[in-house]
């Protein structure tokens, strides 16, 4: 009985220590779901398209030891709404800024994967004073034809069972929400103004930027990451060999070096 009581107390302490705050913020006509973990400098983590905030679960414990981790479901994803059923990375950036205003957070650091990185790029060019540092993973400054062709080939009725099961876990609205997400994803193939950052535009970014990119990314060839690195004044480039677009997600061998490198960078331990 004594062991059981001690175990219960230990679990209770663990739960309280790792408690998360799940909330909704009314921003730009949508309800944005977010969670807050830990204390310290605000770190906003933005997931990629078709995913939700849980893509960062494996990193929460480590990052929340040093930062106040803010996880967010971008509009139309997870538990966030999107009544217009229209998605652009620029509007997503405005949503995140609106969330920061709601939380009364002026400056922050950010990590974005794919569409999350694209939203951060918009944020860092909209206002060069609020993003203090950012990590762009598998992101892009524009949509190349390779990405457009891949997206054109994706149809809701052709989604295989494993992916559909994952999508249903991530998105509370089930198949109707998933169908809208796929439709919005495909709409990127006809958009040329949402993501259209030329080198001079990227050069206006003042935030120190770490660009992480797989050398086998089928959506965004590695030369796009190299161009961004050459264009953003205070930037660093980490090309991960033999990794695809989502190669890092859920891979234990990748989690530890990723966490260590990113923590060092965001903590300001690197210098030019």
Query: pLDDT tens across 44-71, in order?
Result: 999 999 999 999 998 999 999 999 999 9
What is the per-residue pLDDT for 177? 97
Q: Alpha-carbon dihedral of residues 22, 62, 108, 135, nearest 10 degrees?
A: -120
Q: What mean pLDDT, rounded, does the chain reach?
A: 89
Say yes or no to pLDDT of 266 above 80.
Answer: yes
Say yes or no to pLDDT of 18 above 50.
Answer: no
Asked if residue 74 belongs to a domain, the reply is yes
Sign of the C-alpha dihedral, residues 210, 214, 218, 222?
positive
Say yes or no to pLDDT of 3 above 50.
Answer: no
Cβ atoms of residues 37 and 66 within 8 Å: no
Could you tell me the two tokens for 237?
């480039």
Say yes or no to pLDDT of 10 above 70.
Answer: no
Sign of the C-alpha dihedral, residues 40, 46, 51, 55?
negative
What is the per-residue pLDDT for 168? 96
Q: Which domain covers residue 205, as residue numbers?
A: 21-266
Q: Alpha-carbon dihedral of residues 268, 39, 43, 259, nearest 10 degrees?
A: 70
Q: Give the tens place of pLDDT for each residue, 179-197.
A: 999 999 999 889 999 999 9
**Cβ-based neighbour number of residue 33 at 10 Å:** 22
27: which strand partners? 30
Asked if residue 39 belongs to a domain, the reply is yes
DSSP per-residue letters across 172-217: TTHHHHHHHHHHHHHGGGG-SSSSB--HHHHTT--S-EEEEEETT-
**From residue 197, how far is each of 74, 84, 113, 118, 125 by CA, in Å?**
21, 25, 17, 10, 10
**Cβ-based neighbour number of residue 186 at 10 Å:** 16
| Nearest CA-CA partner of 183 in 63, 76, 61 | 76
Please give the residue that has the higher pLDDT: either 271 or 11.
271
Say yes or no to pLDDT of 97 above 60.
Answer: yes
Asked if residue 4 belongs to a domain, the reply is no
What is the per-residue pLDDT for 8? 32
- Count of domains for the chain: 1
Say yes or no to pLDDT of 268 above 80.
Answer: yes
Say yes or no to pLDDT of 255 above 70.
Answer: yes
Asked if residue 2 belongs to a domain, the reply is no
What is the per-residue pLDDT for 248? 54
φ/ψ (deg, to 5) at 129: -105, -15
What is the per-residue pLDDT for 5? 34
Rounded to 5°, angle at Cα 267 from 67 and 71: 35
**Which of the residue ranges 37-41, 121-125, 245-249, 253-257 would you say has the lowest mean pLDDT?**
245-249
What is the per-residue pLDDT for 2? 36
Q: What are the b/e assignments for 80-104, b being 16+ CB within 10 Å?
A: bbbeeeebbbbbbbbbbbbbbeebe
Q: Please report, for the domain that includes residue 203, its CATH number.
A: 3.40.50.1820
What is the per-residue pLDDT for 272? 56
What is the per-residue pLDDT for 197? 98
Could you tell me the two tokens for 42?
């605000």
Please give the residue that has the higher pLDDT: either 82 or 250.
82
């Amino acid at each position: 009985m004594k062991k059981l009581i001690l175990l219960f107390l230990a679990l209770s302490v663990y739960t309280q220590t790792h408690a998360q705050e799940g909330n909704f913020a009314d921003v730009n006509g949508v309800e944005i779901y977010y969670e807050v973990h830990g204390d310290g400098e605000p770190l906003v983590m933005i997931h990629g398209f078709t995913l939700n905030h849980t893509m960062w679960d494996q990193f929460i414990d480590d990052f929340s030891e040093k930062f106040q981790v803010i996880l967010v479901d971008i509009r139309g994803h997870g538990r966030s709404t999107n009544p217009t059923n229209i998605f652009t990375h620029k509007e997503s950036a405005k949503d995140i800024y609106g969330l920061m205003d709601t939380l009364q957070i002026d400056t922050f650091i950010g990590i974005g994967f794919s569409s999350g990185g694209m939203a951060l790029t918009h944020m860092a060019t909209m206002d060069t004073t609020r993003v203090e540092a950012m990590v762009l993973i598998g992101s892009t400054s524009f949509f190349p034809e390779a990405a457009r062709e891949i997206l054109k080939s994706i149809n809701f009725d052709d989604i295989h069972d494993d992916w559909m099961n994952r999508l249903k876990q991530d998105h509370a609205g089930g198949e109707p929400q998933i169908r809208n997400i796929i439709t919005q994803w495909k709409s990127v193939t006809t958009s040329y103004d949402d993501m259209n950052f030329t080198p001079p535009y990227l050069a206006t970014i003042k935030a120190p930027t770490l660009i992480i990119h797989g050398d086998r990314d089928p959506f965004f060839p590695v030369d796009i990451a190299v161009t961004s690195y050459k264009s953003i004044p205070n930037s660093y480039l980490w090309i991960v060999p033999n990794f695809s677009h989502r190669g890092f997600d859920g891979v234990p061998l990748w989690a530890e070096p990723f966490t260590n490198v990113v923590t060092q960078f965001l903590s300001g331990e690197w210098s030019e």
